[in-house]
Structure 1
Amino acid sequence: MVFGLAAASCGTAALPAEDKPAAGSVPFKVAAVASFETPWAMTFLPGSANTLVSEKSGQLWVVDTATGKKSAVSGVPAVKVAGQGGLGDVVVGPDNRIYLSFVEAGEGGTSGAAVGYGRLSAGPGGYALQGFKTVWRQNPKVSGNGHFSHRIAFAPDGAMFVSSGERQKGAPAQDLSGNLGKLLRLTPEGQPHPGNPFASRGGVAAEFWTIGHRNLLGIAFAPDGRLWEHEMGPQGGDEVNLILPGKNYGWPNVSNGSDYGGGDIPDHPTRPEYEQPKVWWNPSISPAGLIVYTGNLFPQWKGDLLLGALSGESLIRVDVNGDQAKKAERWPMKRIREVEQGPGGEIYLLEDNGRLLRLTPA
C-alpha cells in the first residue's frame, strides 16, 4: 500500500528561503512497511532484507521488510523508560555482534546511557539476544530524563564511536572529568581507544574524541572516512558538524541559537577557538537519524547526508563536497526519528511513534 507525503505543519511561511520544504515534484514514492508504538532506531542484518528495529519502550524487533512481519527479540537488557530515555540505538558491530544503547537507572533517581552487545540467535522459540554484556556507561549518572544521545557508529578501522549527550546540564560538555557532552572513540569492548587526543589528561578523558557537544542524535561515516554528526541546538542553532579529532565544538559557550526564553548565546564566529558547524538551522528542525547515502537508486544523492527532522517534520538532504556541506532539499513528512539505507539502496524512515516507511524512486 502506498501513502502520500504528510502535509507539513511546521509553519513554512516563517522559514528562511533556504529552509523551506522543497516545492514541486518529489523524487520518491513512500510505502508503509510496519507500524510501531515508540520506534527509535534500526539497522539491517548483513546480507538480509531483515532489519532490527528498537523501540524506546524496551522492545527489539526483527522485521521482514518484504512482508512487514515483526518478530520479537528476547534477551534485551532492562531499560529505564522516562522522558527521552529508554532503549536507543541498534547497530551491527564487528563479528556480527548486535550493539544496543539504552538508559539504565542509577542511585537516588539518577540515570545514564549505556552500551552493550550480544549475539542474535534464531530458533524454535524465536529470536533471542544471547550473552548480552554492557561495555560502556555515561559517567556520571545525573538527574533528569533528556539528552542521552547514545548513538553508535563503527569506523572503517573497527573503532566504536558513541555520542554522549550533556543531559541538559550545559557545563558538563566542557568538563573533562566526565564523559557527558562528548563524542567518544572506544574499542568494541568499550575501552578507550589507543591514540585518543585527550588521553594524556588521564581518567575518563582517555575516551574523548571531541568535546563541547549538546544532544548528538546522528553520527555517520562517509566512504572517504570522514565522520559527520548532527546535534540539536537550544532555541534554534541545530548543527551539522564535520568531526575532527581533539576539537571543541563550543557548547554551551557558543551556539547559533538562543537559550530557551530568548537569552543570548554568543554565535560561533565570536569564538574562533571553537570548531564551527558546516550547516545550521534557525528555527530548529530537531534533527534525528543520519546516513551518508551510498546507494544506486538515487545516484544524485551519492555521498550526501540524509537526516530526519522531528519538530521540522521532514526528510532533509545536505549536499556534501569533500569537507564542505550546504543545505539542499527538504521534503515535508511527519516527525522522522530515524533514517537508514536498505540493501538495495532504498531509504527507510521511522516515524516518531509511527510507521516504518520505504522510499523508492518515483
Structure 2
Amino acid sequence: MKYLLNPLILFVVMLAVVPAQAELPFTVSEVAKFDDPWSVAVMPDGRLLVTEVKGSLFIVKEDGSQSRDVAGMPDVRYGGQGGMGDVVLHPDFADNHMIYLSYAEAGVGGTQGAVVARAILDESGRRPSLSDLEVIWRQYPKLMGYGHYGHRMLFDNEGYLWITSSDRQKFTTAQDMQSNAGKLVRLHDDGSVPKDNPFVDYYSENPKVDDDGVYPQIWSLGHRNVLGLALDLDGRLWGVEMGPAGGDELNLIERGANYGYPVVSNGDHYDGREMADHDTHSEFNAPALWWTPVISPGDMLVYRGKAFSDWRGNALIAGLSSRAIVRVELGDDGTATEVERYDMGARIRSVEEAADGSIWVLEESGTKPGRLLRLTP
C-alpha cells in the first residue's frame, strides 16, 4: 500500500503496535548513591546499614545522609562475584548492638571462600566502628575462582542463623557432604551447631566419611547459587537461586532435603550440554516455581506491611538480568505463582521492607553509582 511508504505514517503505525509500558504501582524516590552496593538492613530506629562490595559499610539516615564508612571492617577478597556481602542484625540488636557480615576471604594458593563474622557496632565516637570482630563460620573447603559465594543470611523467629553457601561454580560440591558449599546452613548465633540439625549423626551413620565437621551445619543440599532467603507469614523458609542456562528456582526449604543440583535442573549447562529436568528424578525436591528465561534473582523478602495491602504475604524478588522486581504469590500448599513483574530499568541487587511498609531497593552499580531507592504507594 502506497501510504506505508510515507515515513511519518509508518512511524505512527509502528507506535500503535508497540505495547505501552505499564505504570508502576508505586513512587520511586532516589535516596542515596553508593559504589557497588550489595545489601541493606533496617535498624530499629529506621536508619539503614548498607554494604559495598569492595568492603565498606555505611549508616544511612532515611533522608539519605550517610555516616563516614564504618571503621574496623575485615579484609575482603574483592574480585569477580567476591567481596563484602550481606549484613543482618542480631535479634537482640537494640540491646547488644551486634551485627553479622558475610564476605569473601582469601586462602592459600589463590583460593578463597565465604565467611560470616559478627561484631559490635559502636557509634560513640566521631566515626562509627566495629569492635570484637569474630569469624563464626567459614565455607569449606576454600576453592579457586571468584563465583557463587551465596552468603545471604537470615535470623528466623527462633533465633537460628541461616546462611546460603553456594556451590562456588564447582558443580559437585552441592552433593558432597564433606563440603558445606552448595548447601543451606543452620547455626546458633555464635556459630555453633544446633543438636537437632538433620545431619548431626551423619558421621556415625557413614563411618567411611572423614570427620571434617561440616555436615552437622547442613540443613539442605543440592543448591547452586542461593541469593535470597525469606520466611513467609506462616514461618516457612523459602530460598531463591540462580539456575545455570535457564532454570532459576524458588524453593520451599525442607529439613534434610536435596534439591538436586547438579544432577537435575530445569536449565542446561552453559556449554550447551543438557541436564536432566527435575521431573525425571523424584528423589530430589522440585522447585515451587522456576524461570526460563531467567530472572537472575539477587535477593528476596516476604512482604508483611500495610502500605501495599495487596502484597501482604507475597514474595518480592530482586531481579538482576531481568532488571525488575518480581512479585510472587506463595500458596498454603507450597506452590508459588508469579503475579506481576515491575520493570525497574536497572539490575536490582537487594530489597528490604521498612517499618512503615515502604520498600528499600538497592540498584547494582554499572557504569553509574548504584542507587538506594524507596518505593512508596
Alpha-carbon distance, 1:127 to partner? 0.9
1:199-214 → structure 2 map (5 Å cutoff): 199-202=200-203, 203-214=213-224
- SS, match of residue 199 in structure 1: coil
Q: Which residue of 2 aligns with 1:151?
A: 152
Q: Confirm or deny that 1:360 pairs with 2:360.
A: no
Matched-pair contact (CA < 8 Å) for 1:288–1:336: yes
Tell me the C-alpha RMSD between the 2 structures: 1.3
2-side partners of 1:59 and 1:221: how far apart?
Answer: 28
Paired position in structure 1 for 2:268: 258
* Alpha-carbon shift at residue 70 of structure 1 (Å): 4.2
Q: Which of residues 230, 252, 258 in structure 2 aligns to 1:220?
A: 230
Is 2:44 the counterpart of 1:60? no
CA separation of 1:67/1:178 partners in 2, compared to 1, >3 Å: closer, same or farther? closer
Q: Of the candidates 351, 354, 358, which is equivalent to residue 339 of structure 1?
A: 351
SS at match of 1:349: strand
Moved >4 Å (runs of 4+): none
Long gaps (5+) in structure 1: 1-20
Aligned pairs for 1:49-198 within 5 A: 49-96=46-93, 97-198=98-199
Q: Tell me if 1:41 matches 2:39.
A: yes
- How far did 1:72 drift? 1.6
> Is structure 2 residue 326 aligned with structure 1 residue 325?
no
**C-alpha distance in 2 between matches for 1:99 and 1:170:** 28
More strand by share: 1
C-alpha distance in structure 2 between counterparts of 1:216 and 1:67, whole Å: 30
Alignment-derived partner of residue 351 in structure 1: 363
SS in 1 for 2:313: coil
1:85/1:103 contact within 8 Å kept? yes
Could you tell me whether the CA contact under 8 Å between 1:181 and 1:212 is conserved in 2? Answer: yes
Equivalent residue letter for 1:109: G
Q: Name the larger-Rg structure.
A: 2
Question: Separation in 2 of the partners of 1:102 and 1:22?
Answer: 42
Residues 67, 127 of structure 2: 8 Å contact kept: no
In 2: Cα distance, 1:133 partner to 1:69 partner: 26
Q: Deviations over 1:225-283 (max 9, x none)?
A: 10010000000100000000010000000000111032100000000110000111101
Q: Deviations over 1:94-133 (max 9, x none)?
A: 3311000011100000000000111111123221111111
**Higher RCO (C-alpha 8 Å, min separation 6):** 1
Cα separation, partners in 2 of 1:23 and 1:279, compared to 1, 3 Å: farther
Query: Where does residue 22 of structure 2 map in the other structure?
Result: 24
The answer for the alignment partner of 1:249 in structure 2 is 259
The letter for the 1-side match of 2:352 is E
Distance 2:20 2:292 in 1: 17
- Counterpart residue type for residue 151 of structure 2: H
Query: What is the CA distance between 1:325 and its match in structure 2?
Result: 1.0
- Work out the number of aligned pairs and report it: 340
1:124 to 1:207, Cα distance in 2 relative to 1, 3 A? closer
Cα distance change of structure 1 residues 270 and 70 upon mapping to structure 2, 3 Å threshold: same
Is this contact kept in 1: 2:250–2:290, CA < 8 A?
Answer: yes
Asked whether the equivalents of residues 53 and 63 of structure 1 are also in contact (C-alpha less than 8 Å), the reply is yes
Q: Is the 8 A contact 1:22 1:331 kept in 2?
A: no
Displacement after TM superposition at 1:342 (Å):
0.8
Shift of 1:24: 2.8
- The one of 293, 301, 315 equivalent to 1:283 is 293
Aligned to 2:16: none
Q: Deviations over 1:206-240 (max 9, x none)?
A: 00100000001001112311001000000010000
Quote the Cα distance in structure 1 between the aligned partners of 2:200 and 2:20. 45
Distance 1:23 1:299 in 2: 23
Q: 1:6 matched to which residue of 2? A: none
Q: TM-score, normalised by structure 1?
A: 0.92
**CA pair 307-68 structure 1, distance change in 2 beyond 3 A:** farther
| Aligned-partner Cα distance in 1 for 2:232–2:134 | 29
**Which deviates the most, 220-229 or 100-109?**
220-229
Alpha-carbon distance in structure 2 between the residues aligned to 1:176 and 1:193:
17
Could you list the per-position Cα deviations for residues 49-86 of structure 1 after superposition, in whole angstroms to 9, with x for gaps in the alignment? 21000010000000112243343211111111011000
Amino acid at match of 1:303: G
AA in 2 matched with 1:164? S
Residues 22 and 329 in structure 1, CA contact (< 8 A), matched pair in contact too:
no
Q: Work out the CA distance in 1 between the residues paired with 2:335 and 2:301.
A: 16
Q: Name the SS for the 2:92 alignment partner.
A: helix
Alpha-carbon deviation of 1:194? 1.5
**1:4 paired residue number:** none
1:22, distance to aligned residue in structure 2 (A): 10
Q: Which runs of 5+ in 2 are unaligned?
A: 1-18, 204-212
The residue type paired with residue 29 of structure 2 is A
User: 1 CA distance for matches of 2:291 and 2:226?
Assistant: 15
